[in-house]
Amino acid sequence: MSRTETPPAPAAMPAEPAWDRAARILSGDVRPGDYLPETPLVTARVARDLEHARARGKAFGFEGEFSPEVERRQRDAWLLVAHHPGEHVAYLQDDTGVVVMTGLDEIGQILDQYPYEQWQNVKFGYVDPE
C-alpha cells in the first residue's frame, strides 16, 4: 500500500444473531444499547400528539396535565413505528423505553422453548407503519 492509499476499513463486527439476542434479553440481560433510540422525528411526533390531546382536552374543560404514562405510551408507539414499521415483533417495554427482541421468524421459538414465566411480559404485535 502506498502512502496515498486509504487503508481498508476494519470489518464490522457481526450483529448478534436474533435468537441469541432474544435469549439473552429473556434471561434478564438487557443492555442500554438494546433500547430503540429516540430520534428527532419520534420526539416531534410525541410532542405533536400531546399538544393535540391538550387542545382537545381544553376544548372539553380539562386543564390538568397528563400523567407521565401518557407520554411514555406515545413515545413507545412512535419508537416502534420509527424502527420497525410493517413488521411483526416481540418486544419489552419499561420506563426506559422499548426493547425489540426479535421478529416474526423467532416468535414461535420463544413460545415453544421458553417457559411462560420468562416471556409473560413480552408483547407480540404487528407495527402499523402509521
Given CA atoms 109, 111, 117, 119 in this order, what sign does their dihedral have? positive
* pLDDT band, residue 107 (cuts 50/70/90): confident
Residue 35 DSSP label? B
What are the residue ranges spanned by the domains of the chain? 18-26+35-126
- Assign 124 to helix, strand or coil: strand
Reported pTM: 0.79
- For 21-67, write each residue's pLDDT tens digit: 888 998 999 999 999 999 999 999 999 999 999 998 888 888 878 88
